Structure 1
Amino acid sequence: MVKPIIISLDAMGGDAGPRVIIPGADLVLERRPDIRFLIYGDTAVVAPLVESHPRLKAASKLVHTDVVVRMDDKPSQALRAGRWKSSMWKAIEAVKAGEAQACVSAGNTGALMAMARFCLRGLPEIERPAIAAIWPTLRGESIVLDVGATVGADARQLVDYAVMGSAMASAVFEVERPTVGLLNVGVEEVKGNEEVKTAGRLLKEADLPGLDYQGFVEGDDIGRGTVDVVVTEGFAGNIALKTAEGTAKQIAQYLRQAMSRSWLAKIGYVLARGAFDALKEKMDPRKVNGGVFLGLNGIVIKSHGGTDAEGFAAAIELGYDMVVNDLMAKIGQGLASYRRAGVLARTAGAGAGDA
């Protein structure tokens, strides 16, 4: 008998809360029948929704919580008020206690990161965690990190992200030695700020066995899929992510306007509907919804707060894949090679010299 994968859900997180989370979880069970859920939330609201999905009810345990972390709460405020009582905290705590193998929330990003760091703690070698996103490209998919956990990053942290991102790429894409690039304003080694240039030098010199460092990449390389993993700091990564999402919506709007402009255009749409449907499927941001918190002692997935049930289902499935493909073990292997290569000592030396 196959042992089920247990995922804890913050049912109260996101713009729509349980109205999206519950049907999203039910969708996952159609595709992943070996999943079981621990659902945390206000039972007065959540229980009737679970009752309307018999399959989900049979595969879930619902736990009542009294506190909801609001989308506009400051992380420090949410941590003080939400510890021990909120659906977000309880869902994370289930991972720490070993009751669940991954946690998924569509709630406040800052609060989720603060609680996850406080509850799960960080990995010993990692100074700051990162949020990694799967990005659709012309070649398939890539991983981009950090997309918003930490604004600004020094050379040591960028190397951390490269190691963790390559471990995730190995788990998701089943690539033995993922290619990695540092996002920069140009591909020439003389370009960029000192932290990026130092990180590039360290990665090149270390020649880590778990990743294939390709050098600097530019913004347009993300969509091309030039490398499996694109490494940057959280400010630039978040802007790139939001720009890509906005561009996809903009193109979709342009297409809708163009196809409704005239009768001839409408006929053309009917004739080419298959191609347009394929394009819509490829550009659908729900398919790649979910950011992985890397650098913690456990798997936490952040879903977009404004997603629908299909999008939340994708975030749950991302967590499922991280568990099945043993993300934490792969990160551990990457960090072991990191230590053996002496990168920690060199980054510490670089940081002291730069100061």
Structure 2
Amino acid sequence: MPAQDLVSLLVAFGRAVRRAGVSVGAGDLLTFSAATVPLDPTDLLDLYWAGRTTLVKRRDDIAVYDEVFREFFLGEKNPVEELLDAQLRATATAGAVVDVPATDPPAEAAEQDEDEVEMGLAASSVTAVRSKAFGACTDEELVALRRIMQQFRLTPPRRRTRRSRPARHGHRPDMRRTVRRSLHLLGEPVVMQWRRRRVKVRPLILLLDVSGSMADYSRALLQFAHSARQATQRVEVFCFGTRLTRITVPLRRRSPDAALAEAAGAVVDWDGGTRIGGCLDEFARTWGRRGMARGAVIVICSDGLDRGSPQVLDTAMERLSRLSHSIVWMNPHRGSNRDYRPQTVAMMVAEPHIDVLLSGHDLDSLAELAGLLPTL
């Protein structure tokens, strides 16, 4: 679409929102047009959020904006709320996932609504790709999985700290606030004030194996790490093969392409050998000793094919288990087998120190990790 036609379309949509009762000025339209420059204008999901963040200033106007957006771009008068989310996701993934055969549709299918057919194909294909191993995905399917990963919102577990905060209810009386409020009333008795212990997010540490044996999974796991870093700031990411490399700083960039390119450039042993024990020992002795791993949740993504000494790995895992709150190991060789038992020497050595063993070979397993974290 030419730039002039796109700007005309955005201005027409802004005027439609203004006619519906939302306060939209000329400056808001300029901001809306500028916000779509780094985005994909053909992606309705990007277009929706660009308009909502620039044109809507009051919470009460969100419902009006949603109705105008549906009518303007989707041609729907009164759809249910769930239909908007489903159609946005289907539009975002249909072009990359759905591969429709070039045959004439039957007469019955021609009578169906075109949007419903497209949404159904997209939903079924997305479901199939979610449970497909990363190594077996095509380039188009990996692009679709990448878009889905960007929507992940990790919630690390929380812990109660020693510090407390004022609360309406609790088990610890706040005598200072109680006396202060009583003085305002000239010594008259008042309702007892309470305090409650503060809740703090636990650090999340991702240790990603980027050796040659993990080539089919390392890039997808790196994309997952970028999504996790964007969701919460208390995430540290390391890559290891024959040496340990911290890539937290490159993954702070909002652009996935720029972040992954900078992170890949910082890792000099990509697709090389594996020294799991030596790298974990280096992390425990340097970064862990500085306090990064204290009370944290450590997620190790590796297939367990180690060329180093098993004794070094056992010592490193024992030290990490004492420093951290819990250790989660994601082994792609586990797959969907719930009865999987470690076969390599490294996995047998590390198993006694692992709290949770997951697979990490497909998108469903990564979603399982995201759902597991708050419960740890």
TM-score, with normalisation over the residues of structure 2? 0.28
Which entry has the higher C-alpha Rg, 1 or 2?
2
By relative contact order (CA 8 Å, sep 6+), the higher-ranking structure is: 1
TM-score, with normalisation over the residues of structure 1? 0.29
